[in-house]
Structure 1
Amino acid sequence: MSDERPVGTAEDPDLPRARAGDADAFTRLVAPLRRELHAHCYRMLASTHDAEDALQDGLLRAWTALGGFDGRSSLRTWLYSVVTHACLDAARRRGRRATPVDLGPASDHAVVDSAPRTDVAWLEPYPDALLADAAVEQREAVELAFVAACQHLPGNQRAALLLFEVLGFSAAEIAQMMRTSRASVNSALQRARAVLARKVPDRTQQRTLRELDDARLRAVVAGFAEALERRDPDGLVALLTDDVTWTMPPLPHWYRGLPAVADWARRVPLGSCGSWRHLPTWANGQPALACYLWDDAAGSHRGWAVNVLALRGDRIAAITSFLGNEQVTAFGLPAALP
């Protein structure tokens, strides 16, 4: 007979064991919640690395304080409270994560000698493999536009919005979790929604992808890769919207509109760069490509960037190129292709 008791309830034998100091029992208690807690940390911090650190910090705090868990809320609610405070502490130490759009206006022509900005904490992509079976609403809340917009919110507003809109906690629960009043939570929600209304597109990528034929989606992604590999500027431009943007953190310069994006593409990835190869992947609930650039010294194509695509209809409206071999390997993809 299968055991269908809810994990972490008073009936769960691992709860008293964990309270008594059984680390293995605590690990079993939190295991079913680990993925969703990690995604919450990413939404809060816009970095997979910071998310992992905050989750570890939060779980350590929870393990240390488990004796004080009185069971008046569910273990899930209590863990979200502890982990959220770990994220708020991390956000205060690090500051908000930025995109090139946050740093200044778009360039109207290619800047070929741009140096990486190492003094900026950049937003990072999130591998879809970490989302597992997340609900549509939770996938929408890791889309790049949403995560980037959340970084413009103060920590308390960001936490309240994510806990309410994404995770479904009530204002009363959030007030208890945040150690504040329900009125303060409602005020934070109102302010946060006003900011996101200005910064997040009306149509989510999840909705666009649901309405797009799978074959057409594959053709757009493959066409983007083929245009780069064949050095075909016309083929690339044909896939883009008129107001397309291309950003490349950690490079500070970015481009908006077909003339500027086409100039960048012709002069750099299709011009001065070497041979390209690509592997398809998914990031932030969006189609993506791991890009590999030929390296003469290595005698192979080395991982160069993860390109995350945002679509409008069947055209590419935004390209975000997260540069660095470490970005590619973070997706479980090889560092090089023969």
Structure 2
Amino acid sequence: MGRVTSATLIAAQAGDGEAFAALVEPYRRELHLHCYRILGSLDDADDAMQEVLLAAWKGLPGFEGRSSVRTWLYRIATTRCLNTVRGHARRPRLEPVPPFDPPTPSKAFDVPHLQPYPDALIDELDPSHRAAARESIELAFVTALQRMPPRQTAALILCDVLDFPLREAAGILTTSPTAAKGLLQRARASAAPFESRDATAADRDVARRFAVAYAQDDVDGVISLLTDESWLAMPPATECYVGRAAIGAFLRASAAGRPGGRYELVETSAAGRPAFVCYLQKRARGLLVITPSADGTAIASIMRFLDDGLHRHYDLPDVLD
């Protein structure tokens, strides 16, 4: 690309804050989404974006226009996120201690920092980018990204999600095209396949039936909606329960030992799936994300995010009116 000489860029490089805001605003949402894909956490993506904008403001006077402003910002964002992962600089999240004796889990859930991305934020993207963005926030895909080496994750996102040419992606990663190609090949080989599809009316119906049963502590009702291979995970807790019997045992223990009565659920949408913010005694107590089966007649997985501040990302109140 040729040297960027727009009046907005020149003014921003001279220290004009309004010009800087105008320069980066078209890329702010997509950069936040990029940080989320690498980090797997909304909170960490928020923190990373603050660092990205500060680094861009400080570094803009030295920007020579050898790449587009967008590519330059992606290089800053990618570097900051990889540094966060390498430096273990995520927001601390303590594993909650349940107020009851839970049954023995089936296995461990190994991505305790995972948080779901609100669908409403995808609507803020340019319409031409929304379909691909929705696919790339599905929890199965984001979880798979978190299990890869970070630079492989970044290479896969840059090339296969954002469609950067390999040479440009290599520049963002500050490596050679040959090395970037190797990272991409290894990432593609290890990426777990998953089926992406838009939520259907059947998905929403089975999710709402689940919500009614869950809110009433109707464990048998919940179990009747599960597939044979259903599982329940509860980040940042590391327990995972697989199968109807294991999930049922946990839900019964939770219902019997939970202080404060039953949940109220408020419907929203996250990670391309039906979701519900949980309220206990009118106060927000985390989020449920439901993955229906392929035909929408049952529930394949339940993600219960035990983060009492997560609802704020979904523009929902701390306390129900």
Q: TM-score range by the shorter chain?
A: 0.7 to 0.9
Contact 1:111 1:253 in 2 (8 A): no
Which of 264, 270, 276 aligns to 1:277? It is 264
> How far is the alpha carbon of 1:12 from its aligned partner?
3.2
1:258 aligns with 2:253: no
Which of 201, 207, 216 aligns to 1:221? It is 207
Partner in structure 2 of residue 337 of structure 1: 320
Partner in structure 1 of residue 172 of structure 2: 177
Which of 47, 51, 67 aligns to 1:57? It is 51
Contact 1:303 1:335 in 2 (8 A): yes
Query: Structure 1 stretches (4+) deviating beyond 3 angstroms?
Result: 9-12
Partner in structure 2 of residue 305 of structure 1: 286
Partner in structure 1 of residue 274 of structure 2: 287
Contact 2:102 2:253 in 1 (8 A): no
> What secondary structure does 2:87 align onto?
helix
1:145 aligns with 2:136: no
1:31 aligns with 2:31: no
Provide the C-alpha distance between the structure 1 equivalents of 2:229 and 2:276, rounded to a whole number of angstroms.
Answer: 21
Contact 2:234 2:303 in 1 (8 A): yes
> How far is the alpha carbon of 1:239 from its aligned partner?
1.7
> How far is the alpha carbon of 1:170 from its aligned partner?
0.6
> How far is the alpha carbon of 1:233 from its aligned partner?
2.4
Provide the C-alpha distance between the structure 2 equivalents of 1:94 and 1:140, rounded to a whole number of angstroms.
Answer: 27
> How far is the alpha carbon of 1:74 from its aligned partner?
1.3
Partner in structure 1 of residue 118 of structure 2: 127
Which of 221, 225, 228 aligns to 1:242? It is 228
Aligned length: 301
1:90 aligns with 2:84: yes
Contact 1:96 1:121 in 2 (8 A): no
Which of 315, 320, 324 aligns to 2:303? It is 320
> What secondary structure does 1:280 align onto?
strand
Contact 2:49 2:77 in 1 (8 A): yes
Contact 1:208 1:311 in 2 (8 A): no
Provide the C-alpha distance between the structure 2 equivalents of 1:275 and 1:129, rounded to a whole number of angstroms.
Answer: 28
Provide the C-alpha distance between the structure 2 equivalents of 1:192 and 1:96, rounded to a whole number of angstroms.
Answer: 23
Contact 2:136 2:142 in 1 (8 A): yes
Provide the C-alpha distance between the structure 2 equivalents of 1:231 and 1:74, rounded to a whole number of angstroms.
Answer: 54
Q: Deviations over 1:231-257 (max 9, x none)?
A: 322321222111001011232222001
> How far is the alpha carbon of 1:164 from its aligned partner?
0.6
Task: Specify every segment of 5 or more residues in structure 2 that has no aligned partner in the other structure, as ranges.
Answer: 96-100
Partner in structure 2 of residue 106 of structure 1: none
1:194 aligns with 2:189: yes
**Which amino acid in structure 2 is aligned with residue 158 of structure 1?**
T
- CA-atom RMSD in angstroms: 2.6
Q: Deviations over 1:19-56 (max 9, x none)?
A: 11112101111011100000000111111121112112
Q: Deviations over 1:50-70 (max 9, x none)?
A: 111211212221222212222
Q: 1:121 to 1:111 in 2, by over 3 A?
A: closer
Provide the C-alpha distance between the structure 2 equivalents of 1:62 and 1:174, rounded to a whole number of angstroms.
Answer: 19
> How far is the alpha carbon of 1:208 from its aligned partner?
5.3
Q: Deviations over 1:241-294 (max 9, x none)?
A: 11001011232222001111122223324x333222110011122211111123
Contact 1:112 1:268 in 2 (8 A): no
Contact 2:206 2:292 in 1 (8 A): no
**Which amino acid in structure 2 is aligned with residue 190 of structure 1?**
Q
Q: 1:324 to 1:65 in 2, by over 3 A?
A: closer
Q: 1:259 to 1:44 in 2, by over 3 A?
A: same
> How far is the alpha carbon of 1:142 from its aligned partner?
1.3
Q: 1:234 to 1:121 in 2, by over 3 A?
A: closer
**Which amino acid in structure 1 is aligned with residue 287 of structure 2?**
V
Task: Specify every segment of 5 or more residues in structure 1 that has no aligned partner in the other structure, as ranges.
Answer: 1-8, 104-109, 295-300
Provide the C-alpha distance between the structure 2 equivalents of 1:131 and 1:94, rounded to a whole number of angstroms.
Answer: 27
**Which amino acid in structure 2 is aligned with residue 122 of structure 1?**
H
Contact 2:283 2:319 in 1 (8 A): yes
> How far is the alpha carbon of 1:183 from its aligned partner?
0.9
**Which amino acid in structure 2 is aligned with residue 162 of structure 1?**
I
1:18 aligns with 2:18: no
Provide the C-alpha distance between the structure 2 equivalents of 1:327 and 1:64, rounded to a whole number of angstroms.
Answer: 31
Provide the C-alpha distance between the structure 1 equivalents of 2:198 and 2:112, rounded to a whole number of angstroms.
Answer: 30
Contact 2:286 2:308 in 1 (8 A): yes
| TM-score (norm: length of structure 2) | 0.86
**Which amino acid in structure 1 is aligned with residue 268 of structure 2?**
T
Q: Percent identity?
A: 41
